[in-house]
Amino acid sequence: MQRISRVTRVYPGFDLLRILAAGGVVFSHAFLIMELTEAGEPLKAATGTILGLYAVMIFFILSGFLVTDSALRSQGVLDFAAKRARRLLPGFLAANLIVALAICPLFATEGAMAFLGQPVPWETLGRVLLLQDPSLTFPGRVSFFPAEGDAAWVAAVANGVLWTIRIEITCYLVVGLLLLVGMLTRGAVLALICAAVFATLTPAFYVSDYLNCLIYLGPSFAAGMALRLLLPEGHRADGRIAAASAAILGVLMLKMGGWREVEGLLFPLFAAYPLIWFGQQERARLGALGRFGDPSYGMYLWGWPVQMLLRALVGPGWSGWAFAALSLPAALAVGWLSWILVERRFLRRRPPGASYRVGTGVSPR
C-alpha cells in the first residue's frame, strides 16, 4: 500500500553538502594532476583512500535519498525517467562535447585539425557518451603537459571523473525498475543492502572495472534509499546519534586494519545518518545557497578539465595544497556557469531558498 505523505521535511544543508563533496573531489585531484601522485593527499596518507572517493560516496548517499524521494513523488516511471534525464544528461553532454571538441584539439600532439580529422577521437567521444568508457582520455593523441614514466597517462586524460556517471545511471535504473513493478519499498531496499554486502564480500563478483565500481558505490546509494524509506515521517535527526556515528566512522577510518577492503560498506553505514542530520540544519542559513542554483554537479563534471587547463597554464612546481587553492575557486566558478547556461534550463524551477523538500509525495506503508 502507498499513501500520500502530509509531512514535508526540508533539508537546507544538502546544497552545501553537495558543494563540499564536489570540492573534495577537486581537492584530491589537485595532488594527482600537479604532483602526478596521490601520495601527498592527506586522507590518502591517513586512511589509504583519497578524500575524493569519500566525497563520491557522500554524493551517492545523498543521491540515493533524493532520487528515491523523486521516484515516490513521480506520476510514474516515465515521469521519473524524464526528471532524471533532465538533471543528469544536459550537463554531461555539454561538458564532454566542449572538452573533446574545443579544448582537447588545443593540446593535440599532431595539431587540432589532424586530431579532429581522425576517426579515433570521435569514436572515443562516442563511447564516453554511450557510457562505454569510464573516462575521456586520448593516450598518444592529447597531452596537456609534459609527463613521463608511470604518470604519463595523467597528461592524456581530459576528464577522469566520468566513471561515476554510469554507476549513477545504473542506480537510477534500479530505482526505476522497482517503481515500475511496485516494489519501491522498505523490504526491497533491505534486500538490495543484503545483496550489496554479499557482493562486496565475494571476490568472484570482481570481474570488471564496471562491476568493481558498482560494488564499491552501490552500498552508498542503497544507504540513502534506506534512510528515505525507513525514517518515519517528520523524523528529526538526533544530533547525539549523528555525532556518535561520525565518531565511530572516524575511528574506523584511521585505526581499523583492512579498512580499505570494506570501506564501501562501512563508510555509508556510519556516514548516512550524520549527513541527514547535517542536511536538516538551518544554522548559518545553509539553505540560502539554493537561491543561487546548484553548481555542485557542474563543479564535479568540470573540475578535472579546469585543473588540467590550469596545470598546462601554470606549469609544474606547485604543491598539491597550493594548486588546490588555485583550482577550487575556478572549478566552482565554472560549475556556476554550467548551472546557469546549461543545467537549469532543463529543470523545473524551485522556490528560492527551498533547498530540498522531502515527503510531499507517496510513501510506502
H/E segment holding residue 363: strand 362-364
pLDDT tens digits for 302-337?
999 999 999 999 999 999 999 999 999 999 999 999
Using a pLDDT cut of 90, give the percent of the chain over it.
83
Cross-strand bridge partners of residue 3: 363
Range in 51-60, 61-70, 282-291 the model is least confident about: 282-291
How confident is the model over 79-95, as pLDDT tens digits? 999 999 999 999 999 99
232 DSSP 8-state letter:
P
Residues ≥6 apart with Cβ < 8 Å to 309: 103, 144
Contact 14/66 with Cβ under 8 angstroms?
yes
Q: What is the value of pTM for the model shown? A: 0.92
Residue type, 269: L
pLDDT of residue 350: 52
Determine which of 38-42, 109-113, 166-170, 348-352 has the lowest per-residue pLDDT on average.
Answer: 348-352
d(CA 13, CA 33): 30
Looking from the CA of 206 toward its CB, the CA atoms found within 13 Å total 9
Reported confidence tier of residue 353, pLDDT bands at 50, 70, 90: very low
Beta strands 2-4 and 362-364 are antiparallel
Calculate the CA 134 to chain-centre distance.
14
Q: 354 pLDDT exceeds 80?
A: no
pLDDT recorded at residue 156: 96
pLDDT for position 275: 96
The pLDDT assigned to 232 comes to 85
Name the one residue in this structure whose C-alpha cell is 528515505: 228
What are the counts of helices (DSSP H) followed by strands (DSSP E) for the chain? 13, 6
Residue 46 burial (C-beta neighbours within 10 Å; 0-12, 13-18, 19+): exposed
Return the pLDDT at 7: 46
**Nearest-angstrom CA–CA distance, 42 and 324:** 12
Ranges 39-43, 74-78, 148-152: which has the least confidence: 148-152
CB 276 within 8 A of CB 307: no
The predicted pLDDT at position 126 comes to 97
139: helix, strand or coil? coil
